[in-house]
Amino acid sequence: MLRLHSLRHWRLPAADGSCSRAYHAVTAAGSDTGQLLRRSLEASLVRPGVGQSSGLFWERHRKGGYQTEQRVSTKQLIVDGLKELRTEFALFRQEWKEKLECDPLVVFRPGEIDVAFGFDSQPELDRWVVTTDKDHGEGYSQATLERSPAGYGVFHGTLESRVPMDGRIKRAGYANIKSLRVRKSFKREAFYDWSQYNTLVLKVRGDGRSYLINLTAEGYYDILWNDIYHYVLYTRGGPHWQVAKIPFSKFFLASKGRVQDQQGPVPLNRITNVGFSVGSRGGHEGSFRLEFDFIGLEFDPSHQEEFAYEMYRQQKYIVAT
């Protein structure tokens, strides 16, 4: 008996958008095997798989493929929830206490600095998360955040640009610290409201390297999950402390490391995280050290600038990258 075969061919874009991949299926007449294969491949356009960081239309995870999923039984979830119930009620009571006793600050005095992040105790250091390329199997850099003998926070480690021999990673050598997402009681996400300030104040002691300051303003939709406002922190090294005052108008918008065409002021009422990054690009390998005394906020009445960068009117059909 002669069976007829048909060759099906279609092309799908690659996950990283760099090139497209062609798929073929040889099926016998009356068989739906090829059709099943085709449906499974087309589904990945809309619903990315476990190993993919993003699909064609939307992203599943906020961390873009760097999430760590741990399966926990229902019983364990109930036990953990009951353990945290007392803490959540205490936080809920504190929220209402602050709301009822709050005396809003009407007059801002020049030169007064409100400390947003301190580093003089271990609970303050627990508000930060340290990540390097080694944590994701993409390099060999190491970093840590700990208290110094003098009682300050020290972000230090070693940067290596050596990449793993897997043919997947092209560049390596970075370290980063990021504050935990501020939240309310019962796991409700919240924002830092810094709209009454216009200057970021840092008292640091560096090693001469340049560090990148990251202000995350995470949005609701997936296209806004990676909106981060950056500015460079230049350290001079040496044994002396330096106080860096950076107006929020100097920060520029980037997403996934790409500076955006459409810029604008920092939404100071929707800040979710604060972070600092350092890299080995340009041959700057080796050890690094950045010591923190505090991170504060200030209202400077002499600074009237809203946004430091000149913008140009673009045509509507030009899409930012």
Query: What residue type is assigned to position 60 of the chain?
Result: R
Spell out a b/e string for 78-91, using b for 16 or more CB atoms within 10 Å of the CB, else e: eeeeeeeeeeeeee
Domain residue ranges of the chain, discontinuous segments joined by +: 106-299
Record the tokens describing residue 54, joined without a space. Answer: 């993003």
Phi/psi of residue 216, nearest 5 degrees: -85, 130
Give the global pTM: 0.73
Q: With beta carbons less than 8 A apart as the criterion, state whether 210 and 169 touch.
A: no
pLDDT tens, per residue, the chain with 321 residues: 444 443 344 444 444 444 434 433 434 444 444 443 333 333 333 333 333 344 456 666 766 666 666 777 888 888 888 888 888 888 888 888 877 776 666 566 777 899 999 999 999 999 999 999 998 888 999 999 999 999 999 999 999 998 888 888 888 899 999 999 888 888 888 899 999 899 999 999 999 999 999 999 987 777 778 899 999 999 988 889 999 999 999 999 998 888 988 888 999 999 999 999 999 887 788 999 999 999 999 999 899 899 998 877 767 666 554
The secondary element (H helix, E strand) that includes residue 295 is strand 286-298
CA-CA-CA-CA torsion sign (257, 258, 259, 264) = negative
Query: Residue 294 CB: number of other CB atoms within 10 A?
Result: 20
H helices present in the chain, as ranges? 33-46, 74-101, 122-125
Phi/psi of residue 93, nearest 5 degrees: -65, -35
Largest CA distance in the chain: 93
CATH 3.30.499.10 fits 106-299, yes or no: no
Q: Which residues, in sequence order, are CB contacts of 136 under 8 Å at separation 6+?
A: 66
- CA neighbor of 152 nearest in space, from 180, 121, 115: 121
